[in-house]
């Protein structure tokens, strides 16, 4: 495909060709630069984690908190994960960054449990590179031992595409992880390459409906149909469902009526720093679901 692009660029004439290579070089240089910056960020402790509450729609209580990485760049300020996770994935650095997130999220959640006396589950996002890393299970075990968190308070979010590779291998791996008591959630459900026959075989616990389907409720009838259908399928398969990106009361009401189990979004709370999360738990300021 790169050859094809080059061919088309050449066809456009000399100028087009030069323009193309220049652009390519700029991109490669930019990637290299960010890779160096990410390495540096790990050493200099520039990463932090914010936590977004996930709410049980039946009881209104917090069912879990999702750990979301933040990069506090010394010059550029806060850099969003969408701007660096893909690059970290491409360079392989995501394995180290992901281990850092897993360890620190478990450590802080364990601390929060001790401070508040409440059972709190933490959901950590895994990237595809981490999921296919042969050391993943060892890393998880080490983190569990090191932080002392009970595995029933750990949830891992994976995406559909990670699960579609070698289904039998994936099923075995998920079963081993689950046998420790860890919860498995399929993130961004519906946005990827879902096959319902795979879904039936996969040992997962929760489906997280992609924000894309929630965003235009209640204006988009198709999105409402899709969302209620995902909820129904999940329940038929004995899975729980969470909707992400819930921003207003109409969306919440729709989800309640359609028996969605959990919800997450700015309507309930933005992602919070550890300190704010702690006040949140002790003050109980959560808008009732």
Positions in the binding site for Mg ion (CB under 5 A): 125, 157, 187-188, 244
> What dihedral do alpha carbons 176, 108, 267, 159 form, nearest 10°?
-30
Q: For residues 211 and 259, which CB has a smaller minimum distance to ligand C2E in the complex?
A: 211
Binding mask 66-105 for ligand C2E (x = CB under 6 A): --xx----------xxx--x------------x--x----
| Shortest distance (Å) from residue 195 CB to ligand C2E | 20
- Member of 125, 173, 185, 258 binding ligand C2E (CB under 6 A): 125
Q: For residue 4, what are its two tokens?
A: 């094809």
Nearest distance, CB of residue 210 and ligand C2E, angstroms: 8
> CB neighbours of 157 closer than 8 A, spacing ≥ 6?
66, 123, 124, 125, 126, 185, 186, 187, 208
The C-alpha atoms of residue 64 and residue 188 are separated, in whole angstroms, by 17
CB closer to Mg ion, 9 vs 231: 231
Paired tokens of 228: 């209620």
Contacts of 53 (CB under 8 A, 6+ apart): 62, 64, 65, 264, 268, 269, 272, 277, 280, 286
Q: Which is nearer to ligand C2E, 20 or 215 (CB)?
A: 215
Only segment of 140-148, 192-200, 222-230, 243-251 that touches ligand C2E (CB under 6 A): 243-251
Asked whether 38 and 87 are in contact (CB, 8 A), the reply is yes
| Shortest Å distance, C-beta 133 to ligand C2E | 12
* In 157-220, alpha helices (H): 160-163, 167-179, 196-201, 211-215
In the complex, minimum distance from the CB of residue 206 to ligand C2E, in angstroms, rounded to a whole number: 13
Contact yes or no for 162/185 (Cβ under 8 A): no
**Residue 157 CB, nearest approach to Mg ion (Å):** 4
Phi, psi of 125 (to 5 degrees): -80, 135
107 makes contact with ligand C2E (CB under 6 A): no
Nearer to ligand C2E, 16 or 81 (CB): 81
Nearer to Mg ion, 22 or 83 (CB): 83
Residue 172: which of 163, 161, 183 has the closest Cα? 163
Strands (DSSP E) found in the chain: 47-56, 62-73, 77-79, 122-125, 154-159, 183-189, 206-209, 240-243, 262-263
Interface map 177-216 toward ligand C2E (x if CB under 6 A): ----------xx----------------------x-----
In terms of CB distance, is 178 or 215 closer to Mg ion? Answer: 215
Contact by Cβ (8 Å): 118, 150: no
Q: Does 151 bind ligand C2E (CB under 6 A)?
A: no
Binding-site ranges for ligand C2E (CB under 6 A): 52, 68-69, 80-82, 85, 98, 101, 125-127, 157, 187-188, 211, 244-247, 265-266, 271
């Amino acid at each position: 495909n790169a050859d094809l692009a080059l061919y088309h660029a050449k066809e456009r004439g000399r100028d087009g060709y030069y323009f193309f290579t220049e652009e390519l070089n700029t991109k490669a240089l930019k990637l290299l630069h960010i890779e160096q910056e990410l390495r540096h960020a790990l050493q200099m402790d520039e990463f932090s984690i914010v936590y977004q509450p996930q709410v049980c729609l039946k009881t209104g209580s917090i069912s879990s908190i999702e750990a979301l990485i933040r990069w506090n760049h010394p010059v550029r300020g806060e850099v969003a994960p969408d701007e660096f996770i893909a690059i970290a994935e491409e360079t392989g650095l995501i394995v180290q960054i992901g281990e850092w997130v897993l360890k620190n999220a478990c450590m802080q959640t364990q601390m929060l449990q001790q401070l508040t006396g409440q059972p709190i589950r933490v959901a950590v996002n895994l990237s595809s590179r981490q999921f296919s890393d042969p050391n993943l299970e060892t890393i998880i075990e080490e983190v569990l031992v090191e932080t002392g968190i009970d595995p029933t308070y750990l949830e891992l979010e994976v995406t559909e595409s990670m699960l579609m590779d070698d289904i039998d291998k994936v099923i075995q791996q998920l079963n081993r992880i689950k046998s420790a008591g860890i919860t498995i959630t399929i993130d961004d459900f519906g946005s990827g390459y879902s096959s319902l026959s795979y879904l039936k075989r996969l040992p997962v616990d929760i489906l997280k409906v992609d924000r894309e389907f929630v965003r235009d409720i209640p204006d988009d009838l198709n999105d409402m149909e899709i969302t209620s259908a995902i909820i129904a399928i999940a329940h038929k398969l004995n899975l729980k469902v969470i909707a992400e990106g819930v921003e207003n009361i109409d969306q919440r009401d729709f989800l309640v009526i359609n028996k969605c189990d959990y919800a997450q979004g700015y309507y309930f709370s933005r992602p919070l720093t550890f300190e704010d999360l702690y006040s949140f738990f002790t003050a109980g300021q959560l808008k009732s679901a």
